[in-house]
């Protein structure tokens, strides 16, 4: 995998994770309202989903950092 495709994959992973976090947070907030229609199972799924999405963002950020370090090393070698 080239650095550019790894960069694109990491950014995409961060965006996907953040999007999932926003959805989970909205579902959890809606569960606190009257007549939300959200079951305890759905609330649990949203809480677990938040953890999964947070891990997605964290892992993608580590990939992004690795790509950054690799590109920085390449520039250092060229200089």
pLDDT: which is higher, 69 or 53: 53
pLDDT at position 1 is 58
Tell me: the pLDDT tens digits for 3-61? Answer: 689 899 999 999 999 999 999 999 999 988 888 888 899 999 999 999 999 999 999 99
To which residue do tokens 């609330």 refer?
43
Tell me the whole-structure pTM to 2 decimals.
0.81
Domain range for 34: 3-78
> Residue written as tokens 């999964």?
52
Nearest-angstrom CA–CA distance, 18 and 53? 7
- Domains of the chain: total: 1
Please report how the helices 40-78 and 3-31 are oriented relative to each other, as an axis angle in degrees rounded to 10.
160
Contact 70, 16 (CB under 8 A): no
pLDDT at 27: 92
DSSP state letter for 32: T
Asked if 55 contacts 74 with a C-beta cutoff of 8 angstroms, the reply is: no
């Amino acid at each position: 995998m080239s650095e550019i495709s790894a960069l694109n994959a990491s950014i995409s992973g961060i965006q996907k994770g953040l999007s999932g976090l926003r959805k989970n947070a909205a579902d959890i907030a809606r569960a606190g309202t009257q007549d939300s229609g959200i079951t305890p199972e759905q609330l649990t799924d949203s809480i677990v989903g938040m953890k999964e999405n947070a891990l997605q963002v964290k892992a993608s950020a580590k990939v992004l950092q690795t790509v950054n370090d690799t590109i920085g090393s390449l520039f250092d070698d060229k200089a």
